[in-house]
Amino acid sequence: MKLGVVLSGALALAGLALSGALAPPALAGTQPTAAGPDGGPPLTVPAPALSHSLACVNGRPGHGHHRPVLLVHGTGLTPAQSWAWNYEAVLPAEGYPTCTVALPQAALGDIQVASEYVVAAVDTMTARWHSPVDIIGHSQGGIEPRWALKWWPGLRAKVDHYIGLASPNHGIYAADACADSGDCWPAVWQMAQGSHFLTALNAGGEAPGPTSYTDIYSTTDDLVEPAAVDPTAALSGRTNVANVSVQSVCPGRYVNHGGMLADAVVYALVMDTLTHPGPLDPKLVPITVCAQTFIPGTSPPADVAGNAEVYTNAAQAFYAHPGVRSEPPLAAYAG
């Protein structure tokens, strides 16, 4: 079958073709693991799968007490492909206990199901470290935490900072093109502008609870568009929301979608968020960071290669996973 999608920029997957049988409904064959945790619905993913998806590294001693950080990867990727060459390498060295969660089907399946992995990860981490958690999500990896915080309200007291890096909170043009083809991956259907999923996600307030929400984006993003005028990443909210573009700190700086994972300015904004209460205040970030290219403590060759491989690995995942002919239905709790 043909699945058309436009993934702009370096990915350049216009008119991508994919062969394979249609996947079964995302919720088929699953059983609730327990009564609904955190005031939300029961989890449909078996407990062993949730447990095995989480991998953690303790922070290096002697660097002070920091909240544990959960890293959530984007579409078509694994945790290692997204994080091993950047934040997963530097955060533990700075004393942050750091965990990654592996979303099923390379995050190409139903986002509602993938969000259950985040729910379970937060619960496991807070129990292990007896501390609230900070979450950093790149691209689609910023949506699962928001869905979890919306429908499992008990998580809101367990998540101090939510940080989205170029998260498609209101849909993206590439997903629109894929959905218009009538044959698309479940998660991409859900990231189309005006999808049932995004409508449910953003209804009734986009930043619920006491959690601080920070969305960092680039106006030169090649995939999460619109990026400049009325950026899709920006969240509406009260005093617990900050929307900050890289270019508002360093005018004229070019950062593409994959580059958000390695950019020194993005990293400075993230670290300022983690080390201060409330959402990000970009005025606290020194202008001298604009002279830096990559995250301090990482390898520039690895950063360049990692950025390129984000696109390559995502393209391979698209080819390897089948699509469906319509958006996954909303779960009963969200419908």
Look at 22-36, 69-83, 178-192, 233-247 and tell me which has the smallest mean pLDDT: 22-36
Residue 274 lies in a domain: yes
pTM, 2 dp: 0.91
At 62 the pLDDT is 74
At 63 the pLDDT is 73
Residue 40 lies in a domain: no
At 301 the pLDDT is 87
Residue 304 lies in a domain: yes
CATH code assigned at 75:
3.40.50.1820
Residue 16 lies in a domain: no
**Residue 201: its H or E element:** helix 196-202
At 318 the pLDDT is 94
CB 133 within 8 Å of CB 160: yes
Residue 287 lies in a domain: yes
Longest dimension (CA), the chain: 55
pLDDT (tens digit per residue) in 114-141 = 999 999 999 999 999 999 999 999 999 9
At 60 the pLDDT is 87
| Domain, as residue range, for 54 | 46-320
Residue 26 lies in a domain: no
C-alpha to C-alpha distances, 4 to 183, 187, 198, 325, nearest whole angstrom: 7, 14, 21, 12
pLDDT above 60: residue 287: yes
Tally of domains within the chain: 1
- 29 or 37, which is more confident? 37
Q: Are strands 212-217 and 159-165 parallel, antiparallel or unpaired?
A: parallel
As a whole number, mean pLDDT of residues 229-252 equals 96
Q: Are strands 69-72 and 133-138 parallel, antiparallel or unpaired?
A: parallel
pLDDT (tens digit per residue) in 39-67 = 999 999 999 999 999 999 999 887 778 99
At 92 the pLDDT is 96
Residue 194: band (very low, low, confident or very high) from pLDDT cuts 50, 70, 90: very high
